[in-house]
Structure 1
């Protein structure tokens, strides 16, 4: 059981506008990173139609050289992104917008960090193609948000085993179905 983090855990029904909110921010980030950016993926639960989610837009910018990203911290801060460096994951640059009341998160990786990029892309693609598991995941999140309304750590711990299992299945599934279910980035 986690401790009270003071952060409210809110899980909402899918909002069609999340796609637009992603697109707006992706364009703003592209404008700053220019030649450094290769592509930006909308990842996480807000990228899966009909999936209940915390209303935080997760973005995965894929860049040419992760070391160069630090020099953009000030410009990204001007559009509201707090740069937190690797934030516990080597090879990543993590940015959040909105502080404790986050609206967006960026998990940025260099193009050749295939393992991390694939992990983030595989799960939403898998959930889009497996409605039963997507609905089960949404219900689990709603139940956990009710059980741990002020405890983000209890919420995260509660879904950890489910997420790890979905991630394992998703990566396997993508290996055998890549040609049929490609991930449409920028969407």
Structure 2
């Protein structure tokens, strides 16, 4: 377990851990919970916790497709009552972002909601699938994250360094998907 300096916000947001085989079960439980709250077209496990063998922050990322994001906006009160932080687009046009915390106060789930057919929705799935199939890319991604932490990268440097690696990786994943 390694901590990204400057990310000690009391919620494990800065801790990178080896892959945990319990993460898919955590996703499945949250998926059931979400299905009871929103009208989803699909609910998928994404992000580093969705790729067996990939080191990750222990926060489950979930991708939801809905017919209309505006209908999700109308359920903000219901979602808040169910324990979600409803944060709107949160910096990404067209996305709706929800967050949930575990009973101990740590962040446990990030939910990214897009309208069905949105290109960002597809890109998340392609990226995940590419890493699941290409072990050498998964291992390189793990090595890149760990190298940044071991080099003492603070939050900004970690995000920047990881972002550059992810952008190149996403480019390769989209080229792979286009074949």
Distance 1:56 1:145 in 2: 17
Counterpart residue number, 1:27: 32
Aligned equivalent of 2:169 = 166
* Aligned match for 2:110, one of 105, 110, 113: 105
CA distance in 1, matches of 2:146, 2:7: 18
- CA distance in 1 between partners of 2:82 and 2:19 (Å): 25
Please say if 1:132 is aligned against 2:133.
no
The C-alpha deviation readout for 1:1-45, integer Å capped at 9, x for no partner, is xx9454362111101100000010011011011xx2101010000
1:72 alignment partner in structure 2: 75
Displacement of 1:152: 2.7
Secondary structure at the counterpart of residue 23 of structure 1? helix
Q: Distance in 2 between matches of 1:50 and 1:4?
A: 26
RMSD over aligned Cα atoms: 1.9
Change in Cα spacing, 1:88 to 1:103, as seen in structure 2 (3 Å) is same
* Aligned match of 2:19: 14
Unpaired segments ≥5 residues, structure 2: none
Give CA-to-partner distance per residue, 1:38-75, whole Å, 9 cap, x none: 01010000000011111110000100111110121222
Q: Does 1:143 align with 2:155?
A: no
Q: Which has the higher contact order (CA 8 A, sep 6+)?
A: 1
TM-score (norm 2): 0.88
Alignment of 1:175 with 2:178, yes or no, is yes
| Residue 63 of structure 2 corresponds to residue 60 of structure 1 | yes
Q: Is the 8 A contact 1:9 1:148 kept in 2?
A: no
Displacement of 1:118 after TM fit?
1.3
- What is the distance in 1 between the residues matched to 2:35 and 2:150? 37
Match for residue 54 of structure 2? 51
**Do the aligned residues in 2 keep the contact of 1:9 with 1:145 (CA within 8 Å)?**
no
Higher strand share: 2
CA contact (8 A) 2:27 2:62 kept: yes
Structure 1 position 94 matched with structure 2 position 97: yes
Which position in structure 2 is the counterpart of 1:181?
A: none
